[in-house]
Amino acid sequence: MPKPGDLEKSLAVLSKLKEMEFHSRANIETLAEVTLTLEEELKQREFSDPIGAVYSAQDAFHSKIAGLIEAYQTKCDALKSPA
């Protein structure tokens, strides 16, 4: 049984998770730009693999946090209308 204030605290957590997801998406876009700059403009292709690894890690994080947000949204919805 939820305690008073659980919904508000849970919604605050959800908000923080959504903020992290937003920044994660922005990081992916920035990494794509950096990749183009390194490879095409600066011709520093020795950094292609390392930046690709960072991009992959950020993409994996983004996928996981998006799934977590979806699951936690369901939890928050359940707190809004207890059975």
What are the extents of the domains in the chain?
23-80
Q: Does the pLDDT of residue 82 top 70, yes or no?
A: no
Q: Give the residue, 51 or 83, on which the prediction is more confident.
A: 51
In this prediction the pTM is 0.88
Whole-number pLDDT of residue 81: 84
- In this structure, the number of other CB atoms found within 10 A of the CB of residue 51 comes to 17
First to last CA, the chain: 10
Q: Residue 81 carries which DSSP code?
A: S
Whole-number pLDDT of residue 56: 97
**Residue-wise pLDDT tens digits, 2-51:** 888 999 999 999 999 999 999 999 999 999 999 999 999 999 999 999 99
